[in-house]
Amino acid sequence: MGGDGLYKIGTRNGTCTAGFVAITQENITCIATARHCYLNDAKYYLLPWNSDPTTTYLIGQMNFANLDKIDFGLIPIVGDVRPEPSIRNTDSEKNRELFIDDDIAVSHYGVHLCVSGYYSHVKCGYVRSLSGFASRDKNFYENLFIVGLDVIEGDSGSPLFSYKQNLTRVSLNGILHGGARGNETQGKVAIVITISSILNTLRKVGREISVVTAK
């Protein structure tokens, strides 16, 4: 599920978060996450919430990462993991699994969005800016939006989503690039890669993907 951890083992170990399930033009099912989680020799394993690092649930290796345009990567599934088009919310007694209904671009300030991260779990805030930018390791990213959320290192790649009216289904709006400290008024903020910029950028470079949604 989106929001579960991605435990990577290579020359150095670490944890990021699964964003969503995608299918490539070649009909390969992948886990989408942030590209800066990439490690060229690493294998990635699924890490459910509140679990210790384990190599039980192999996903595979990240084989596509488009760092110069967007902070986005794909991990083709070669192990026994069977991902669901949903987002983990198991701290909730009522809606422990949130089903991804569609993907929608955020178009207004003040929209209420939530994140599901391996460390942060589910928390929510409001869109502060639709025209954000960021830099990381000499790469410059545009087409980001800023949400008033305090996220934790290791949440990178997490899905950002908005609830539908019945609170069991959601719209996917983007994935988490990272967190930052804003000014005294803003406090801590989350920097989000828009789902539209992901899909449009991949389409332009001939690597079109489809977001898997729940039936």
Bridge-based pairing of strands 188-194 and 14-17 is: unpaired
pLDDT at 67: 59
Q: What is the secondary structure of 166-183 as a DSSP string?
A: TSSEEEEEEEEEEEEE--
Reported pTM: 0.90
Q: Which segments in the chain show pLDDT lower than 50?
A: 184-185
pLDDT at 186: 52
Phi-psi bin for 174: left (phi > 0), alpha (psi -120 to 50), beta? left
pLDDT at 57: 92
Give the number of other CB atoms < 10 A from CB of residue 92: 13
pLDDT at 109: 85
- Dihedral sign, CA of 83, 67, 63, 57? negative
| Domains by residue range for the chain, with CATH | 5-84+206-211 (2.40.10), 86-200 (2.40.10.10)
pLDDT at 11: 78
Q: Which residues pair with 169 in a beta bridge?
A: 99
| pLDDT tens by residue, 53-107 | 888 999 999 987 665 678 899 999 998 898 899 999 999 989 999 999 999 988 8
> Could you tell me the CA-to-CA distances from 173 to 39, 82, 185 in Å, in that order?
26, 23, 25
pLDDT at 185: 47
